Amino acid sequence: MPTNIDPNVNPYQPPAARIQATGADLGAFIPGGRRCPAGAGLTWIGQGWQQFASAPGAWLGATVLFFVLAFVIALLPLVSLLGVVFNVVFLGGLYLGCRATDRGEPFEFRYLFEGFRSTAFGRLAGVGAVLLVFNLLFFIVLGVAAVAAIGFSGFPDFNNLAAQWNSISSAIGLASVFVVLLLIYLSVIIMLGLFSPILAVVFDQPVMEALKGSFVGSWRNMLSLTVFGIACLVLGLLCILTLGLGILVVAPVTWAAVYYAARDIYEQ
Q: Which residue has the higher pLDDT, 234 or 168?
A: 234
- Domain membership flag for residue 182: yes
Q: Closest Cα partner for 69 from 1, 23, 115, 27?
A: 115
pLDDT in tens, 124-136: 999 999 999 998 8
**Banded model confidence at residue 27, pLDDT cuts 50, 70, 90:** confident
* Counted domains in the chain: 1
Residue 176 has pLDDT above 80, yes or no: no
Please write the tens of the pLDDT for every residue from 44-102: 999 999 999 999 999 999 999 999 999 999 998 878 888 999 999 999 999 999 999 99
- Average pLDDT of the chain is 84
Domain boundaries, position 109: 35-266
Tell me, yes or no, whether 141 lies in a domain: yes
Residues 6+ apart with CB under 8 A from 93: 111, 112, 113, 114, 115, 116, 118, 201
What is the pLDDT, as a whole number, of residue 213? 96
The answer to whether position 30 is within a domain reads: no
Where does residue 30 rank: exposed (0-12), middle (13-18), buried (19+ CB within 10 A)?
Answer: middle
Q: What percent of the chain has pLDDT over 90?
A: 62
Q: Is residue 25 part of a domain?
A: no
Domain annotation covers residue 3: no
